[in-house]
Amino acid sequence: MFVGSARAEAASVTLAWDPNGEADLAGYIVLFGTQSRRYDRVLEVGKTTTWTFSEAEINKTYYFVVQAVNTSGARSEFSAEVAATVGDGGAVVPGPGPGSGPPTGTRVAINRTSFTIGAIAGTNGLRSASQKAAVTFSNGSSTWTATTDAPWLQISGGSGSGAGAFSVSLKSGSYAPSNESGTITVTAPNAPNSPLTIPVTLRVYGSGENPSGTIDTPVNNATGIQGSIAITGWATDDIGLKEVTIYRDPVIGEAAYLQKVQVFVGRAVFVDGARPDVDAALAEPFDYQAGWGYMLLTRMLPNQGNGTYKLHAYATDVEGRGVLLGTRTITCNNASSNKPFGAIDTPDQGGTVSGTTYINYGWALTPQPNSIKTDGSTILVYIDGVPVGRPSYNKYRADIATTFFGYANSGGAIGSYTFDTTTLANGVHTIGWVVTDSAGNAEGIGSRYFTVLNGSEVSTMNLEASTSIQEMAGGGSETRVSAAVGASSGLDAASLDGTAVSTVPVYRRDGFDQNASLELAPADDRGVVRISAETLGRFTLTLSAPVRDDAGGYEGYLVADGKLQALPAGSFLDKGIGDFYWQPGVGFVGNYQLVFVRTEAGQRVRIPVDVTIGTSSTQSKPRLVVDLPSSNGVVGTTFVTAGWAADFAASTGSGIRTVHAWAYPSAPGSSPIFLGEAVMGADRPDVGNIHGKQYDHAGFHLTGTLAPGSYNLVVSAFSELAKDFNNAISVPIVVK
């Protein structure tokens, strides 16, 4: 921890701080700005313990913090904030410093609502891998500890100061088949909403079960596909998943065709928070990252992506059990495409990055006779949907030059963009490029998730010059600062019901054209703004007027399992301006309930937004919820299965023709049992209240009979729009 001080001389401020004694110290970074805890200037000052800011303006207050940086690029926590104002005579007028404790209203939040751990009975039998929870603060900071009342639960890294994380796992030992429960308590002494609790469930099995899940996109038998597509779905397991892999059938002329074996395409990435619907419906290890996705550049398929291909998605658990999640047939026609294409190579999908000069690599080409400017001036880099810069382009790489011979830029398809990861908030972010060629054809390429662990609470980004009205008007670079984790994070979503709904219209802009006109985003009779977005697309929302009150601003939440959680990965909410950017990465599909809160002069209003992400606004957007029986519930030999199903792309009615239920016995080699077809049209006014009156009768129910035993109950819904069973939920049950 640093001790900082400030003094003023004429129009300058000098800082001094205690030295950091760690052996791998690389130097210090000074961060400062004109608002408390919002630092829009970041400077590396070397290993000195004093620094002078010589550009201070008279009668303006500045706020400073210092961080130490080690040789790996990792940063320490912020020092205590100090403030200074330079008066006319050079004297320091004390600024409103933060004090010794956190500011009034400091809140602690955790990004998990529950944990489930699975294990196989016996001494040190197979068990779930360790799972992590992040601790964050809004409006200040505090020390914190994580403890548990469960004797079987191990907590690692269970204390810290400021934002941090801890891991939970099952202790070594001998366990008999059983269900146990416990609680993790996170205590932050200076946060009024402390302590927070996380329920933990341990399930010990005599033997493990198969994974379950489904493939959601692309739509089966889709045609005319060009460029990149997202292959997405969800998967869970009673102990833990090892991987989801994508294969394809071989085509004539390949050796695999004669061998009659499938061809490996790639491994999907598991995306934390991408499927809140699955997280809410299931209670299994890592259910919060059940969503998976794989970005397929179809030009890499045989015949450079021209023809019909059959894709298969498989889930494999840590025990080695594998199941087919689903199959999709697609027909590609890249020969008629005139759009640029390419990929992002770094960062690794889902990797962790650090440092002030991280290099993002990618490549881009466009069909003849068009070309891409070799100076990279028509390529834009987006981080979390925000345009931040342009790469250096026109570098050679042999594999691209050989595979895609004869394009205008084949000999210089590689580009790189350097950015400072320490300006980004802790957590998961997305990066992608948008490429425009000489004919004006524009296309997004690549979509990568990456994690930053630098200790920052907010992201600070400078808009790329040509996308900033302020900079083009001669007003200097335009900096956007994200809202920190909201003060209501972790509370029940209903806690905001008493906040009035804003009556100010919301405007949206789709795609990557920064000059495209804003369009009104209409709200329903309850004030909910409904947005349809394409998979891998991008949109921005102007939620209301900017907030000029330093004590106010915007905050935003994802509603998941009835709780207010952090906004989705890959999104960015400007705290002061009120612009919301989102470029959903691979793995995001379905419905997402967001709520934003605007505070100015002590007045709060909320802005509810319902986002549906699909392959296009006219294609199926299914949702399926099973209310009965409960996950791992115990039922009689005759029992009721009930819930609701809807296709949010349907023009009328629920959009669901029928629902089927199958039971998969846990005994190896057993055949599935068809339980029946559900009675449709049951009254569900609760669904209609949330999603619109056309879904008032989205309910279903059926009665089935099974012999005693353990089963996976798989419920699937048939979409009228997709003409397919394109959504399924697996519910483990015990019949007695």
Separation of alpha carbons 209 and 205, rounded Å: 9
Q: How confident is the model at residue 95 (pLDDT cuts 50, 70, 90)?
A: very low
- Look at residue 6 and tell me whether its pLDDT is greater than 60: no
CATH no. of 483-614: 2.60.40.10
Q: What is the pLDDT of residue 96?
A: 37
In CATH, the number for domain 4-94 is 2.60.40.10
Q: Give the torsion through C-alpha atoms of 318, 322, 325, 327, to 10 deg.
A: 140
Residue pair 708/686 in contact (Cβ under 8 Å)? The answer is no
Q: How far is it, in rounded angstroms, from Cα 30 to Cα 45?
A: 7
Residue 408 is predicted with a pLDDT of 94
pLDDT digits (tens, 9 = 90+) for 453-494: 776 778 999 988 888 766 666 767 788 999 887 778 888 888
Assign 89 a pLDDT band (cuts: 50, 70, 90). Answer: very low
Cβ-contact 315, 215 below 8 angstroms = no
DSSP 305: H
Burial of 543 (0-12, 13-18, 19+ CB in 10 A): buried
Q: Spell out the domain ranges in the chain.
A: 4-94, 107-205, 212-336, 341-467, 483-614, 622-735
Cα separation, 575 vs 561, whole angstroms: 25
Tell me the CA distances in angstroms from 693 to 55, 525, 559, 580, 648, one per residue in order.
Answer: 60, 11, 21, 28, 12
Tokens of 509: 């802009």
Does residue 337 surpass a pLDDT of 80? yes
CA gap 202, 222 in Å, rounded: 42
Mean pLDDT of the chain: 86
Question: What is the pLDDT at residue 693?
Answer: 84
Neighbours of 368 (CB within 10 A): 10
Among 29, 156, 164, 6, smallest CA distance to 90 is for: 6
pLDDT digits (tens, 9 = 90+) for 374-420: 999 999 999 999 999 999 999 999 999 999 999 999 999 999 999 99
Which helix H or strand E contains 256, and what residues bound it? Answer: helix 255-259
The HSE-up count of residue 645 (CA atoms within 13 Å, CB side) is: 30
Instruction: Find the mean pLDDT for residues 201-215.
Output: 90
Question: pLDDT band at 637, cuts 50/70/90?
Answer: very high
pLDDT of residue 36: 63
Lowest average pLDDT, out of 178-187, 261-270, 449-458, goes to: 449-458
**Token pair for 439:** 């004919």
Fold agreement (107-205, 622-735)? yes
pLDDT given for residue 385 in this prediction: 92
The correct answer on CATH 3.40.50.300 for the domain covering 212-336 is: no
735 versus 70: the higher-pLDDT residue is 735
pLDDT (tens digit per residue) in 209-233: 888 888 988 988 999 999 999 999 9
Around Cβ 715, how many Cβ atoms within 10 Å? 24
The CATH number given to 341-467 is 2.60.40.650
Tens-place pLDDT, residues 487-542: 788 888 888 888 999 999 999 998 887 777 788 988 888 899 999 888 888 999 99
Position 10 scores a pLDDT of: 47
Q: Check whether 39 has a pLDDT greater than 80.
A: no
Sequence-ordered list of residues with C-beta below 8 angstroms from that of 302, at least 6 positions apart, any chain: 251, 253, 254, 309
Give the CATH class of 622-735.
mainly beta
Phi, psi of 583 (to 5 degrees): -120, 85
pLDDT for res 103: 40
Cβ(297)–Cβ(227) below 8 Å: yes
d(C-alpha 119, C-alpha 116), whole Å = 10
Return phi, psi of residue 336, to 5°.
-95, 5
Amino acid type, 567: L
SS3 289: helix
Q: Can you name the CATH fold of 107-205?
A: Immunoglobulin-like (2.60.40)
Return the amino acid letter for 347.
Answer: P
Residue 621 confidence (pLDDT) above 50: yes
Report pLDDT digits (tens) over 543-587. 999 998 877 899 999 998 788 989 999 999 999 999 999 999 899
Question: Using 50, 70 and 90 to split pLDDT, how confident is the model at 204?
Answer: very high
User: Can you tell me the mean pLDDT for 8-27?
Assistant: 76
Q: What is the model's pLDDT at position 4?
A: 46
Question: Which pLDDT does position 21 carry in this prediction?
Answer: 79
CA pair distance 6, 32, nearest whole angstrom: 12
pLDDT value of position 63: 80
Higher model confidence: residue 581 or residue 41?
581
3-state secondary structure of 54: coil
Report the pLDDT value the prediction gives residue 500, as an integer from 0 to 100.
Answer: 92
Q: How many CB atoms are located within 10 Å of the residue 651 CB?
A: 10
Instruction: Give me the pLDDT at residue 572, please.
Output: 96
* HEC sequence for 435-490: EECCCCCEEEEEEEEEEECCCCCCCEEECCHHHCHHHHCCCCCCEEEECCCCCCCC
Q: Which neighbouring-strand residues pair with 310? A: 329
Query: What contacts 345, CB < 8 A, 6 or more positions away?
Result: 361, 362, 363
Task: Check residue 369 and give left, alpha or beta (phi > 0: left; psi -120 to 50: alpha).
Answer: alpha
